[in-house]
Amino acid sequence: MKKFLSLGFLPASSALALLVLRVWLGLTMVIMHGWPKLTGFSGMAGSFFDPLGIGSRLSLGLSTFAELVCAALVVIGFATRLAALILIVNLGIAFTLVHKLALSGPMSGEVAFVYLAGFVAIFLAGPGLCAVDSK
């Protein structure tokens, strides 16, 4: 019983943990954020938040690239650290400039903050053994 409570029946595998983290965060980012931005690009382009003053269309394009292409690269584990770094910049801008560091309330950046933490972990740890980068 003690072994069961300590979860000793699970193999300790950082490679598996990194794979799960990469796929979970990456696919969620692609499906919930990147794909909707791509398919709704023309409708969003004029009103997308422009925190850097580079224009709504370019801001949306950069955000779409990060959340679709870079997140997909993280999933497969190709150019993982570079892709994670681009996502970190994207999410850092979203959390600080768009959500104003708010973790609650009407303009909460909690989701951006949680994604940011996950992609920082992937950036620091690397893709793990179950990745295209490791081949």
List, for residues 85-133, the tens digit of each pLDDT value: 999 999 999 999 999 999 999 999 999 999 999 999 999 999 999 999 8
pLDDT at res. 133? 87
Average pLDDT over residues 34-39: 98
Average pLDDT over residues 51-76: 97
Do 87 and 95 meet the contact criterion of CB atoms below 8 Å apart? Answer: no
pLDDT at res. 67? 98
Tokens 């679709």 found at: 68
Amino acid making up residue 56: S
What is the average pLDDT score of the chain?
Answer: 93
pLDDT at res. 12? 77
Do 29 and 67 meet the contact criterion of CB atoms below 8 Å apart? Answer: yes
Position 132 in a domain? yes
CA dist 24 and 50 (Å) reads: 28
- Going by pLDDT thresholds of 50, 70 and 90, the confidence category of residue 37 is very high
Q: Per the structure, how many domains does the chain have?
A: 1
Do 113 and 90 meet the contact criterion of CB atoms below 8 Å apart? Answer: no
Q: Spell out the residues 6+ positions from residue 2 whose beta carbon is closer than 8 angstroms to its own.
A: none
Q: Which domain covers residue 111, as residue numbers? A: 19-45+74-135
17: left (phi over 0), alpha (psi -120 to 50) or beta: alpha
Q: How many CA atoms lie within 13 A of 94 on its CB side?
A: 25
Model confidence at 5: pLDDT above 90:
no
Position 5 in a domain? no
